[in-house]
Structure 1
Amino acid sequence: MLSVLIQTLNDEERLARTLASLIGGAVEGVVRDVIVCDTGSTDQTHRVAEHAGCLYVASGGIAAGIRQAKGDWLLLLEPGARLAEGWIDEVVAHTARQTMPARFSRARGSRVPFLSRVFSGNRALAEGLVISKRQAAAMSKNARSAEAIARGLATKRLDAEIWVAPVK
């Protein structure tokens, strides 16, 4: 049903936190596979991914990960982001009735004041992205990163929350 893609660069600790929040989705059968698309890590990111049962893609970037995804829908996340309880039902309902991409709502403790957001720059993947594999594959032809795929997309806002990854 859903493939999770996480693009990494020296993110072993952050990756572990994100993977922990996906366990419920795997148990429920919603998360079909998790693909870690690495961009040249020199830490133990590959070990974290392999120990968690993820497919580790060391070359080819996000496009290679999308090609290998088994799900019809993709969930793109930043390393360090954590999905809050209740995300599974919300994503299942969205993918059953929608064709447009969606983003999560920021968890209350993860919200940043307006002026801080304006001056710190906007990360397109900060709130995750649920997108059809077909649309992501088409966009990945011109995008070198998951961030580039997420940038500028019109999306629906999900009621489920995400704890945004801290800035590196």
Structure 2
Amino acid sequence: MDPFISIIIPVRNMDRTITKTFEYITAIDYPREHMEIIFADGGSKDRTISIIKDYQKEHPYVKLVEINRCPSPGFARTRALEAAKGEFVFFTDGDCAPCADWVHKILAAFKKDPKIGAVGGEILTLRVDPNNVVEIYCEAFGFNRVSWRYGSLGEGYYPDLSD
């Protein structure tokens, strides 16, 4: 049986990207009755909240946590985590595009080795506007990749997840 999962998405003033991200999230190959999507809004002044409320009308598994005085996306994630009911919790952002098999690939890693406590992977920023000069520049020079901004742990547990 598929475990119940929570997908947490911190947002603030993301009306430009949230619709595209939601399209990717709803394309995830996972039973809707075993998932919840929690948007944690950190004080949006644009149409972000109204867009999420429209999603809620058609998708009962979508939740909204509104946070006044939200200092950071991390704070928003923590507040959403308090409302989460999932056995497994997935984090993404309001400008990301998870693959359809994202959930299954991560759950497979947990099933392979019970010592695993967290799983990550390659992250690319979602390009929304093909005519946006900043997005074109960032893509051309690899700045839309998040992974290069972070280092690896020098020590720790690195399981063999090869088949």
Relative to structure 1, the CA distance from residue 34 to residue 112 in structure 2 (aligned partners, 3 Å threshold; closer, same or farther) is farther
**Would you identify which runs of 4 or more consecutive aligned residues in structure 1 move more than 6 Å?**
109-112, 154-157
Q: Looking at CA atoms only, which structure, 1 or 2, has the larger radius of gyration?
A: 2
Matches for 1:7-26 after TM superposition, within 5 Å: 7-25=10-28
Identify the structure with the greater strand proportion: 1
Relative to structure 1, the CA distance from residue 123 to residue 81 in structure 2 (aligned partners, 3 Å threshold; closer, same or farther) is farther
Could you tell me the TM-score, scaled by structure 1's length?
A: 0.58
Aligned partner letter, 1:81? C
User: Structure 1: 5+ residue runs without aligned partners?
Assistant: 125-153, 160-168
2:134 corresponds in structure 1 to: none
Aligned partner letter, 1:75? F
Deviation of 1:3 (Å): 0.5
Task: Choose which of 56, 65, 69 in structure 1 pairs with 2:64.
Answer: 56
Relative to structure 1, the CA distance from residue 12 to residue 112 in structure 2 (aligned partners, 3 Å threshold; closer, same or farther) is same
Aligned partner letter, 2:149? N
| Identical-residue share of aligned pairs (%) | 13
Deviation of 1:91 (Å): 2.4
CA distance in 1, matches of 2:119, 2:30: 23
| 8 Å CA contact retained: 2:9, 2:94 | yes
Deviation of 1:7 (Å): 0.8
SS of aligned partner of 2:17: helix
2:59 corresponds in structure 1 to: none
1:67 corresponds in structure 2 to: 82
Aligned partner letter, 1:49? I
Aligned partner letter, 2:40? C
Matches for 1:8-157 after TM superposition, within 5 Å: 8-25=11-28, 28-29=31-32, 32-53=35-56, 54-59=62-67, 61-98=76-113, 99-106=116-123, 122=149
SS of aligned partner of 1:50: helix
Aligned partner letter, 2:67? S
CA distance in 1, matches of 2:140, 2:150: 12
Could you tell me the TM-score, scaled by structure 2's length?
A: 0.60
User: Structure 2: 5+ residue runs without aligned partners?
Assistant: 57-61, 69-75, 128-138
Deviation of 1:69 (Å): 0.5
CA distance in 1, matches of 2:150, 2:18: 17
| 8 Å CA contact retained: 1:25, 1:31 | no
Aligned partner letter, 1:122? R
Alpha-carbon displacement from aligned partner over 1:94-150 (angstroms, at most 9, x marks no partner): 23344321112246x997757x58xxx8379xxxxxxxxxxxxxxxxxxxxxxxxxx
Deviation of 1:67 (Å): 1.0
**Count of residues in Structure 1 that have an aligned counterpart in Structure 2:** 125
SS of aligned partner of 1:16: helix
SS of aligned partner of 1:56: strand
Deviation of 1:72 (Å): 1.4
